[in-house]
Amino acid sequence: MEPSEQFCPNSTCCARGQIGQGNIVIHDRKRQRYRCKICQQTFSARRGTMFEGLRTSTELVVIVVTLLAFGCPVQAIVQAYGLDERTVASWRERAGAQCQRVHQAIVEQGQLELIHVQVDEIRVKARSMVAWMGLAMMVSTRLWLGGVVSRTRDTSLADRLLQQVRACSQAACALLVCTDGWAAYVRRVGVYEIPVRHGRGREQEPLGQELTRRGNSMATVACS
């Protein structure tokens, strides 16, 4: 347990959210609880994480979520660890929600100097349905900026994805967005489109060859 890395989660405490102020101490090492010296409230070490309220060991949950993230079938996990299928599903939901919160708290803070962003969509075929996953990546660091899942590949998908990109970007900076040529992005980010040669392989790539492998249209946008 590391009190210096914790903060008081009590919404009425004046020290809420402040790390390294010396107000958090270990309350109960066995039960993994901290205490705030200002408001005197105790809280679990799992507070604010995907493990909050779970009685299962952290190690097992981490293993299961890691397997899911790498595409391991739920049935394989159920058989291997003797878990209920609904339990595995709920951990997956918890992990997803936590990742979204962390992404919003750290990445979507308007602090990134993006300069160059690549966006693309993946068509996912499932049983009796097709879904689209739109993804945006900061090119220089390979940082994922956003992802949107939609039943249809429409302007709403492009809108939501680019809203996430804007939330990550510093204000009032020019941004180069490379796409697969889908016009929705160009209309949405608007402003200025740079035509790029169409062709196969390197013929169609004006810059950043390995990054715009399928790129045949680009747009610049002023984030504000």
Q: Is 131 in the site for Zn ion (CB under 5 A)?
A: no
- By beta-carbon proximity to Zn ion, the closer residue of 35 and 166 is 35
Q: Is 39 in the site for Zn ion (CB under 5 A)?
A: yes
Report the Cα 6 to chain-centroid distance in Å: 22
Q: Which of 3, 6, 27, 36 binds Zn ion (CB under 5 A)?
A: 36
Q: Is 33 in the site for Zn ion (CB under 5 A)?
A: no
- By beta-carbon proximity to Zn ion, the closer residue of 37 and 202 is 37
**Structural contact between residues 82 and 93, judged by C-beta atoms closer than 8 angstroms:** no
Q: Which of 1, 18, 26, 38 binds Zn ion (CB under 5 A)?
A: 38
Rounded Cα distance between 36 and 23, Å, is 6
Count interface residues toward Zn ion (CB under 5 A).
Answer: 7
**With left for phi above 0 and alpha for psi between -120 and 50, is residue 38 left, alpha or beta?**
alpha
Report CA Rg, the chain: 22
- Collapse the DSSP code of 166 into the 3-class scheme (helix H, G, I; strand E, B; otherwise coil) and give the result: helix
Residue that has been written with the tokens 């595409």 in this structure: 71
Q: Is 222 in the site for Zn ion (CB under 5 A)?
A: no
CA distance to 20, 40, 113, 166, 182, per residue, from 66 (Å): 30, 36, 30, 29, 33
Rounded Cα distance between 27 and 3, Å, is 10
Q: Is 95 in the site for Zn ion (CB under 5 A)?
A: no
Stretch that binds Zn ion, among 34-42, 57-65, 190-198, 202-210 (CB under 5 A): 34-42
Q: What is the nearest approach in angstroms of Zn ion to the Cβ of residue 25? A: 11
Rounded Cα distance between 68 and 153, Å, is 26
Q: Is 157 in the site for Zn ion (CB under 5 A)?
A: no
Q: Is 189 in the site for Zn ion (CB under 5 A)?
A: no
- By beta-carbon proximity to Zn ion, the closer residue of 37 and 214 is 37
- Cβ partners under 8 Å of residue 224, min gap 6: 171, 172
Q: What is the nearest approach in angstroms of Zn ion to the Cβ of residue 52? A: 17
Q: What is the nearest approach in angstroms of Zn ion to the Cβ of residue 96? A: 29
Q: Is 8 in the site for Zn ion (CB under 5 A)?
A: yes
**Structural contact between residues 120 and 147, judged by C-beta atoms closer than 8 angstroms:** no
Binding site for Zn ion (CB under 5 A): 8, 10, 13, 15, 36, 38-39
